[in-house]
Each structure stands twice: as structure tokens, then as C-alpha cells.
Amino acid sequence: MDFFVRHWAPYPRRFPSDLPVLNMGDIREKDHWVNRVFSTCNFSFILRGRGEFRRRGKTWKIEAPCVLTQWPGERPMYGPGIGPGTPPLRETWDEVYLIYDARSVPALRRRGFVAGGRPVWRIENLAGVLAQVEELRALAARAAGDPAPEAVVDRVDRICERMILESLAPTAARFERPESQGRLRDGHPALLKIEAELRRNPEREFDFDALAAAHGMSPSSLRRGWAALFRVPPGRYHLDLRMQKARRLLVEGEARIGEVAVSVGFDDVLYFSRRFRLATGLSPSDYRKRFLLKPASPEARD
């Protein structure tokens, strides 16, 4: 099992929210069950794996991607597989959790994040949640080596809130046919691995038929499952990741537009500019002028 925890409570907020996060944790291949009374408000994002969640005599089957919640004074029992003491227990899951003080209940309730009869829910917008997780991991890594981690804590609060929102925001998933949901469950771990590969290397060209074969899927199964999970075809999703990276590079750095194009996998800067305008409604240079975070050097202003 691989994990890290970040404790955010001690750091002052320059732009305080009414939802300051206390702790966050990132656990890969969690292999144990939790059975204790909580004094905090917790949101556990299960991104891979399956298991059970038990509370007040009821049991919920857990299938990623989903969110588990734990509330002050409750004693849930949950974890991967079918429970402790039932050998062999070989199931694991990947989990990112957020912890809030019990005093945050009114703010959570106002946002619609609290529902007593709904301790578990399926993540509606997985792509949105994964984008927030990636940013949260980057900020946590930055804070680990920063002598002033309070510089990022306000962003952490907002990202954590956005993660919960994205998990609940309604999408077309509510109208899926049962047979499409079955296909999604069957191929879900492989799809998440492919998505992670795309997100790590959006500038690369990908052969989706070859990716499907490498993960034990047919091309048609990959496309059906991908559309059910992420709402868009895999090629469009890959292009969106490229455009996300391009927007960051244009606003956060000083690279020329041609260099940005190459950095996100486009050898032809004119084609990149056309695709960028279609995605954002602005040319790369206009986007940079509108959203630039700091003055660019003269050499960077294409």
C-alpha cells in the first residue's frame, strides 16, 4: 500500500472559505477495512476497486468510481473486498479522501453535499473529478517542499469543494440503459488506466485500437465503455487534454505559441491554432492576452 497525508488545518487562509479542509489523503492499493466512530465529516473518493460499506445495519456494494461519506458520531465499517476475516482478502482499491471539521456540516448542507440517507453515491463526472485530483496532488507535492505551504492552501480548499461538486453534478449517466452500465463496470479498471496514460502524456499520439488490445479489450468495447464513462469519444477526450495543457502553458509560461503547439503534440502551428480556436473561441495569442497571469517577455509575445 502506498499513501500520503497532508494536514492543512494549521495554515492561515488569506481568502477564507466556509469550507476549510483539515486533511487530505491519497491511498493506492488500500487493503484494509475501517471500523471506528468518526468525529469529522469525510468524503472518500474510490477511484479503482470494489468492496462494501456498512452503516446502521445496511450494506452498500461499492464499485468505483464512487464516493463514500462518514459523518460525526457515526460508526461505519467499510473497505475493499467483502470484509475482514473472510480469507482470502486480496481486493484493494485506490482512494483519495477529504476531511472536514464537524462544524462544517451547515456549510456542507447548504451546498447539498449532506444527505443522511445517501452515504454512498456514484461519481457523475469522473473526468471532472480526476482533473481536480491531479491538481490537488500537484499542490500537495508543491507544499511538501515549500517553506510557506500556506501559499497554496486557499486553492486546496476550493479544489476539494470542486471535487465533491463534480462527483454530484448531473450528467447523461442518469439516463444510461442498464446494459451500458454493465459494459462500463466490466471494463472500468482498464479504462481508468488508459485515461491515466493519456493524462500523463497528452502530447503523445495514441493508437486506441492498440491501447484496447494492450488492456485486453476490443476496440469497440473500449469506445463504448469510454463514451459511457467520460461522455465523449476517446479521441475527443485526448484532444481536450491537449487543449487543457495548452491553455496552462499559454497563461503560466512564456513559451512562444509555436513551442506550445509542439509541447502538446502539434507539429503544425496553424493547425494547432485552428483547433485551439474551435475549443476556446479565441486564438492562442488572444487567449494569452486575456488570461495572462504575469507580463510575458517580448520574445514570448507571438
**Residue range 154-198, pLDDT digits in tens:** 999 999 999 999 998 765 444 343 344 444 444 577 888 898 889
Percent of residues, the chain, with pLDDT higher than 70: 85
CB 100 within 8 A of CB 42: yes
Give pLDDT, residue 43: 96
Average pLDDT, rounded, for the chain: 83
Provide the pLDDT for residue 3. Answer: 60
Q: What is the pLDDT of residue 80?
A: 93
Residue 140: predicted pLDDT: 82
In this structure, are residues 51 and 79 in contact, taking their beta carbons and an 8 Å threshold? yes
Report the alpha-carbon distance of residue 188 to residue 173 in Å, rounded: 14
pLDDT score for 190:
85
| Distance of alpha carbon 100 from alpha carbon 154, whole angstroms | 14
Question: How many CB atoms lie under 10 A from the CB of residue 232?
Answer: 14
Please, what's the b/e burial string for 285-297 (b: 16 or more CB within 10 A of its CB; e: otherwise)?
eebbeeeeeeebe
Whole-prediction pTM: 0.64
Domains and CATH numbers, the chain: 2-168 (2.60.120.280), 176-231 (no CATH), 248-300 (1.10.10.60)
With a cut of 70, list the residues of the chain below it in pLDDT.
1-4, 83-90, 116, 145-147, 170-187, 293-302
